[in-house]
Structure 1
Amino acid sequence: NVGQDMIVKGGTVSDVLDNVPSVSVDADGTVSLRGNESVRILIDGRPSNAINMAEALRQIPADAIDKVEIITNPSARYDAEGGAGIINILLKKGKNQGINGVVTATAGNPETYGITGTVNFKNEQINLFTTQGYNYRTSPGNSMTDTEYLSPNAKYKFIDERRNNERVREGYNGSFGFDWFLDETTTWSHIFSYRNDNGENPENTNFYNYDENRNLISTRNRFNNQITKGENVEYSTNFIKKFKKEGHQLTLDGNVSFNTDDDSASILDNVNNDERTFNNQKQTTTQLQADYVLPIKENSRFEAGYRGSFTENIVKFQSDSLNVNTNEFDTNFDLSNDFEYKENVNALYAQFGSKISKFSYLFGLRWEDSKINVNQLTTNDYNTKNYNNFFPSAFFTYEISDETNASLSYSRRIQRPRGRFLNPFQNRSSDINIFQGNPDLDPAMTDAFDLGYLKKWKKITLSTSAYFNRTKDVFQFVRRENGEFSNGTPVVLSGPINLAEERRFGFEFTLNYNPFKWWRLNSNFNFFRNETMGEYSYMRTVEGVQQTETVDLDNVATGWFSRVNSKVTLPYKIEWQMNATYNAPQRNFQGKSLGVLSANMALSKDILKESATISLNVSDIFNSRKRINETNIVNTLNSYSEMQWRERQINLSFTYRFNKKKNEKERQPRREGGDEGEYMGG
């Protein structure tokens, strides 16, 4: 239950996830589960419709979150998307009788202000609930890159890059909904939500150019001021009909959302012509779902259902360059692009589970039909991909005793390429680093196996698992020279390809230990070994002659990360919480990431007869949370880089609860994303 986590008070969903066992969030905001970025993120049991997932998670306040569910091997009821599994983020929604609510206000340094409130009113006929939040955040960050170019035609042998930025975000997050209890067996729910955020990111970059003897030849300055505006409007409805037999029910869900994301940037360069760019995205998503649950006798259950997801995304990108003769900006049509992505996925599933004495099982089968349209409107280049797949799953659990159980599970998963992964347009927002999507990219298919063991003692709970994932056509980003030069510097092209196969082995354990009533400890350790197999061929120009280069992408990498959390009750009932996370070095076929250690701390005190709480937390105490990489591209470059997305953050929060105590539990269970009962996958 992350709602009681002091470390993330005043933070965002991204901060919450970075404190959940088995989950890590890197400096860019990319979420991974067990070290695997192929993860499906749900919000209240539904796939997130965000255009930019990392930014969306940074806009939702942590105080709006009730809890987070981790499902490493989902059953057939869930979408097959996500080779690593599913993260389900459950938002707060009051359910107690009468009027109840919680309000949290936060102020921090670097400059941060925010307020979030959740209120509900419930009687026998209706439950009204709302969550409202406003936040203003500054997130100063920095990065550095030192690059050695290996091409004999490079004008500069070494280029050092130093970058500083000051991200500013202001956002509103609001929702209103109601549960209408038509009778004792029927509930009809509606939720309306609206989010907007406005931001500015002034970024200043200095380049220092050296010859082969490290003598400074020249410098260059590039200032990029990016303005962002985003909106999300969403409506969801849920209908539940319970029949006479306990557990027998029909559930219908519908959801429609509209997203816009408008970015503009003004780029001032003391060497190249000044530029400006406009990137406008619009996305519409409609989701329909039906689930039917039929209990059979005492310990068996049959389930079946349908899910449809229909998405349309349009991206308009325009690049302008300053004409020094007219002193006006001219549109560069070679760098401008209109892109359309449509995805329709229809799915059917069925599963059956039963419990026999201490043994339980669940077998499921899901079928998904995917229709993908990737349309390059600027060049009239249209690509269509149609494919359908079966996704079997099986789960076995044996209760060795009341305190011990063992489990074995299997599921088949898919990762679909989307958006920029498929867009063949070359993004030249950097003049020396170009990104290009691959319209021929195929979905990656994963077979996931998981063996688990759970043991409870009086003061200790141990949960362990060993897992194996085998993925075909896995996505891999490759970087290479494209034969061009910009101011004497080789231009590097990067983009995704399908590798032949990836095998991932790993094990993890989570340990909860309560040595005393006033001290609670929990830790999580995850180790994995990743084997990739495949090769990549491309045309390379050497001294004016084109030749075929083949890159061997076979790679074996090991990695691990660990997190330790301690919560102590001090005298005068002051709560003190600390955690530390270490991400070990990990190698890939074109370099490696270096190890990073970070820590957080929080203090809190209940006041006003436990109706209010004051919290002080420090995120990234040692200012050490960075992404550190070494890159080695054969015959092209060697580089070392560090990137810190946000510097140390200190927040002071005040929480007030009315008609509700701090640890009071809701008196009505909430259905979010389904209840698998005895047979739940993961």
Structure 2
Amino acid sequence: MKNITYLFIFILLLTFSINYSQQNPQVAKIKITGNVIEKNSKHPLEYATITFLNSKNPKAKTGGITNQKGDFNIDVIPGDYDIKIEFISFTPIILKQRKLEVSTNLGQIALIEDATQLNEVVVRTEQTSVSIKLDKKVYNVGADLMVKGGTVSDVLDNIPSVSVDSDGTVSLRGNSNVRILIDGRPSNAINISEALRQIPADAIDKVEVVTNPSARYDSEGGGGLLNIILKKGKNLGLNGALITSVGNPENYGVSGNINYKTEHFNLFTTTGYNYRTNPGNSFTNTEYLNSDGSTKNYINESKNNNRIREGYNSNFGLDWYLNNSTTWTNAFNIRKNNGNSPETVTYNNYDLNHQYVSTTYRNSTQNSDSQDMEYTSNFIKKFKKEGHKFTIDAAFSKDKDNDNSIITSAVLEKTSSAQKQNESLIQTDYVLPFGKESQFEMGYKGNFNSLFTDYKVGNLDNSGNYTPNNQFTNILDYKEKVNALYTQLGTKINKLSFLFGMRWEDSKINVNQLVTNDFNTKKYNNFFPSAFVTYEISDESSTSISYSRRISRPRGRMINPFSNYTSNINIFKGNPDLNPAFTNSLDFGYLKRWNKLTFNTSMYANKTTDSFQFIRRENGDFVNGTPVILSTPINLATENRFGFEFTLNYSPYKWWKLNTNFNFFKVDTKGDYTYTNSQNVLITQNFDNNASSWFTRLTSKITLPYKIDWQSNVTYNGPQSTSQGRVLGNMSANLGFSKDMFKEKGTLALNVQDVFNSRKRKYDTFIPGVLNSYSEMQWRTRQINLSFTYRFNKPKEKEKPQKRESDNGGEEY
């Protein structure tokens, strides 16, 4: 690790010295000013790009962008230039061979919208929140009224192709093997589902949905990846925003972001506090069976909980513009949360004729606190040729999660879980454009992670003496080291574009259970090829085909051998012996744009070996004669997944915008699982299963009189059969209203999450000779939020050109 650190410092200092030695001597400059507008509406175009080119040798010499009024003011060295004025999806204008000897005003320049810009097809309306591109979708959170006062989980659950289960599991196109990045880096949280519920939506700028990533990205995530990009101010001077919110069930928060930018540095911070209550409930009605299939008895188990969370999050950092081509960014992030979760579990017992017998209770109080700290550094060196750059990224994090519970039933029990995680990341990337339209890339990434979990379960007597339960007490020491190298080459020949890449990753995983002396080391290295071909059929449409190989490494809850003890007859347990799953992914895409409509569709096929599947079985224990049912993940042979989806963005009128997403998929699973039941009989269960399901979401945004915006959506998750039962269909709806005030410096927003209180996971389970059960789970009941945003020295975010995102979340025009 020390050698890597020294190498990092050496490269940084070497680049500084090369850069400073290449700086040109000072020459008296002149000012070139002007104004850029849209020809039809006469509206100013903010973030339009002005580039000054040498008329004899077309290389960019200098340039700049317009402010919110469309004005630009750029210092240039006197000489002869071609001046290029451009804006995404508009026809650029080139002012040929302008002789600039003194400060000059170029006057007003009007651009005309051009529908032929297909590399980044953006639905260009003031209120649009979804941008569709051939290789990904970009969701701009700022325009979404329905997540104001919410969390990142709420944001993700409103994104095309993405769904969030009631237990917080994120799926992309129905596949839960998703890699989640924050600013291009893996999340440092121990429990990612819980962490996403703690980060406020107001801290998010946009989310990138990448269904088939190239070799540049981590190979992790068989179902694709989601890149959550945090807000960071970009306007010159001092500017920012203050957001306050209040909701029911009890929910309030305040957050602010401040940015101070000059020509030499950019200082930014986002800080927030929130208090949330999340009442939830679930029940499982079970018919227990004898070995011959006859009814033995019934138990109806119900849970009511009220999760209370108090959280603080802050990030602050500095962009240091060492010169026009070199930027060094350093940032520090901290999240701190604590809370308690009182829960009551009621068991109603019935005989084989479903006649009431008795009721028992199991009460628990859980206290938790967590702290996540992360330091990140990003160095970017850009060279003279556009797109030629070298970057170094580093991230170091330290996280702690502590949970303690007291469970009261027939006996008094205590559980505790103390987790510590340390993670280090070093990454470097080099991009070299060559020829007319070709580009070469290469890079290295090292990710080093350690997680230590001390889990205890025991009994308390009337005097408070603690007796450990060795069946559930253990210590898990997890260490992961992944080193990766990648390279890729892209080029364009006429209307055909190609991108071929190869990634190599070397993995070493240690999963050690210290109490039971169960030590397990997994070593493997793999190649992950990727290939992308795009063909421009016409100026308005393109088609593409892509392939990539992916890996899903089991982590966290999936390998933690003791994760849940709230119910003593339905227990979840991780599997430390899980192996990684490998996926080959093939994707066909088509993109078509009309005047008011953008249509994007894809057909995909995935084949996964050693796929993860959750099963329910007896674990051999009994509680008052009732068998304990264990839920656990296993590697289950092969999974073939096929599906298609489409996304439509339609603007029938200026005041009405529609967006819809539909996804259909079919999953064919093949595999057998063998275990020993409570009668010490070896059971082999066949898990061959062929299932299909679908998912759809419709979002509408309407501008009402008095400039009130109304946004609503309806989501439906179709039913799906599993190898041990079926998941039932579910529909839910959200809505939001907003009104600008104080000359657009302030915005008042009201939204309702889960309008009909219907967002629940419903499923049937059938285990022959053991049980039949029906379950419903609602993680959070209907939520109503009212928020107010006030901006100072910062215009309301309207349409902006989409920028290319680097792998670490950085941005460049």
With the length of structure 2 as denominator, give the TM-score of the two structures.
Answer: 0.81
From 333, 354, 359, the counterpart of 2:491: 354
Aligned residue among 427, 430, 434 for 1:292: 430
1:305 aligns with 2:439: no
Distance 1:73 1:155, change over 3 A: closer
- Counterpart Cα distance in 2 of 1:354 and 1:632: 54
2: CA distance, partners of 1:236 / 1:675: 12
Deviations 1:11-63 (A, max 9, x none): 00000000000000010111000000000000000011111111100000001
Task: Give 2:14's aligned residue.
Answer: none
Measured after TM superposition, the shift of residue 331 of structure 1 is: 2.6
Secondary structure in 2 aligned to 1:15? helix
CA separation of 1:100/1:426 partners in 2, compared to 1, >3 Å: closer, same or farther? closer
Q: Is the 2:319–2:329 Cα contact (8 Å) retained in structure 1?
A: yes
Q: Which amino acid aligns with 2:303?
A: R
Q: Which runs of 5+ in 1 are unaligned?
A: 678-682
Give the SS at the match of 1:655.
strand
Distance 1:30 1:588 in 2: 17
Could you tell me whether the CA contact under 8 Å between 1:96 and 1:666 is conserved in 2? no
In 1, Cα distance between equivalents of 2:494 and 2:344: 66
Pairwise CA distance, 1:541:
4.3
Contact 1:151 1:490 in 2 (8 A): no
1-structure distance, mates of 2:753, 2:591: 32
Q: Give the Å deviation of 1:427.
A: 6.2
> For residues 213 and 155 of structure 1, what CA distance do their matches in structure 2 show?
8
Q: Do residues 648 (structure 1) and 782 (structure 2) align?
A: yes
Distance (whole Å) between structure 2 residues aligned to residue 625 and residue 509 of structure 1: 24
The residue that corresponds to 1:375 in the other structure is: 512
Report how far residue 402 of structure 1 moved: 2.0
Equivalent residue in structure 2 for 1:106, among 216, 238, 245:
245
Q: Deviations over 1:348-377 (max 9, x none)?
A: 000000011111010000000000001111
Counterpart Cα distance in 1 of 2:290 and 2:628: 11
| Correspondence for 2:620 among 477, 483, 491 | 483
2:476 paired residue among 332, 336, 339: 339
Which of the numbers 260, 264, 267 marks the counterpart of 1:121?
Answer: 260
> Deviation of residue 673 (structure 1)?
2.0
Q: Give the one of 757, 760, 773 matched to 1:623.
A: 757
Question: Does structure 1 residue 216 correspond to structure 2 residue 353?
Answer: no
What's the CA shift for 1:659? 1.2
Q: Tell me which residue corresponds to 2:416.
A: 278
Any idea what SS the aligned residue of 1:157 has? strand
User: 2:545 is matched with which residue?
Assistant: 408
Cα offset, 1:634, TM superposition: 1.5
For 2:570, give the aligned amino acid.
N
Distance change in 2, residues 1:200/1:437 (3 Å): closer
State the alpha-carbon separation in 2 of the partners of residues 613 and 348 from structure 1. 47
User: In the TM superposition, what are the counterparts of 1:259-658 in structure 2 within 5 Å?
Assistant: 259-269=399-409, 272-323=410-461, 326=463, 328-423=465-560, 430-542=567-679, 546-658=680-792
**1:178 corresponds to 2:312:** no
Q: How far off is 1:152 after superposition?
A: 5.6
Structure 1 residues 676 and 78, CA, compared in 2 at 3 Å: closer, same or farther?
farther
Gap change, CA 1:236 and 1:432, over 3 Å in 2: same
Q: Contact 2:296 / 2:351 at 8 angstroms: preserved in 1?
A: yes
Q: Measure, in 2, the Cα distance between the counterparts of 1:167 and 1:674.
A: 34
Higher strand share: 1
Q: Does the C-alpha gap of structure 1 residues 84 and 667 become closer, same or farther in structure 2, counting only changes over 3 Å?
A: closer
Change (3 A) 1:163 1:493: closer
Compared CA separation, residues 429 and 616, structure 1 to 2 (3 A): closer
Partner residue, 1:233: 373
**Deviation of 1:417 (Å):** 1.5
In the alignment, the residues of structure 1 paired with residue 475 and residue 402 of structure 2 have an alpha-carbon distance, to the nearest angstrom, of 14
Q: Which amino acid aligns with 2:614?
A: F
Q: Tell whether the 8 Å contact from 1:90 to 1:672 is kept in structure 2 after alignment.
A: no
Which residue does the alignment assign to 2:79? Answer: none
Post-superposition offset of 1:496: 2.1
- Give the residue type in structure 2 aligned to 1:71: V
Q: Write the distance in 2 (CA, Å) between the matches of 1:353 and 1:335.
A: 53
Of 134, 153, 159 in structure 1, the residue corresponding to residue 299 of structure 2 is 159
Structure 2 residue aligned with 1:78: 217
**Distance 1:676-1:463 versus aligned 2 partners, 3 A rule:** farther
- Greater C-alpha radius of gyration: 2
Contact 1:95–1:668 (Cα < 8 Å) also in 2: no
Provide the rounded CA distance (Å) in 2 between the counterparts of 1:675 and 1:115: 26
Once the two structures are overlaid, the 10-residue window that deviates more, 434-443 or 478-487, is: 434-443
Deviation of the 1:671 alpha carbon: 4.6
Q: Per-residue deviation at 1:330?
A: 2.2
Letter aligned with residue 11 of structure 1:
G
Aligned residue number for residue 88 of structure 2: none
CA RMSD of aligned residues (A): 1.9
| In structure 1, C-alpha distance between the alignment counterparts of 2:781 and 2:678, rounded to whole Å | 42
1:143 is the counterpart of 2:282: yes
Q: Which amino acid in the other structure matches residue 276 of structure 1?
A: K
Identity %: 60
Given that 1:155 and 1:489 are in contact with CA atoms closer than 8 Å, whether structure 2 keeps it comes out as: no
What residue in structure 1 maps to residue 164 of structure 2? 25
Measured after TM superposition, the shift of residue 592 of structure 1 is 0.9
Q: For the Cα contact (< 8 Å) 2:607–2:638, is it kept in 1?
A: yes
With the length of structure 1 as denominator, give the TM-score of the two structures: 0.96
Summarize the Cα distance change of 1:331–1:228 in structure 2 as closer, same or farther, 3 Å threshold.
Answer: same
- Structure 1, 81-90 or 480-489: larger mean CA deviation: 480-489
**Cα deviation code 1:289-335 (max 9, x no counterpart):** 000000111200000000000000000011120235x5533233332
Matched-pair contact (CA < 8 Å) for 2:183–2:227: yes
CA 70–327 in structure 1, closer or farther in 2 if over 3 Å, else same: closer
- For residues 483 and 291 of structure 2, the distance between their equivalents in structure 1, rounded to whole angstroms, comes to 53
Alignment check: 8 A CA contact 1:156 1:488 kept: no
Superposed displacement of residue 497, structure 1: 1.8
Asked if 2 retains the 8 angstrom alpha-carbon contact of 1:527 and 1:560, the reply is yes
| Structure 1 residue 661: Cα displacement | 1.5
| Paired letter, 1:651 | N
Residue 420 of structure 1 and its aligned partner are, at CA, apart by: 4.3
CA contact (8 A) 1:135 1:170 kept: yes
- The alpha-carbon deviation at position 425 of structure 1 amounts to 6.0
Partner of 2:131: none
1:572 alignment partner, SS class:
helix
* 2: CA distance, partners of 1:335 / 1:582: 39
In the alignment, the residues of structure 2 paired with residue 288 and residue 20 of structure 1 have an alpha-carbon distance, to the nearest angstrom, of: 30
Distance 2:494 2:615 in 1: 52
Distance 1:435 1:392 in 2: 36
> C-alpha displacement at 1:576, in angstroms?
0.6
Runs (4 or more) in structure 1 with deviation over 4 Å come to 152-156, 423-429, 664-672, 674-677
- Contact residue 478 and residue 509 of structure 2 kept, 8 A: yes
CA distance in 2 between counterparts of 1:443 and 1:671 reads: 29
Structure 1 residues 573-628: Cα deviation after superposition (integer angstroms, max 9, x where no partner): 11011100000111100011111111011111100111111011111111111111
1 CA distance for matches of 2:660 and 2:568?
45
Q: Given that residues 745 and 796 in structure 2 are in contact (C-alpha distance below 8 angstroms), is that contact kept between their aligned partners in structure 1?
A: yes
User: Where does residue 680 of structure 1 map in the other structure?
Assistant: none
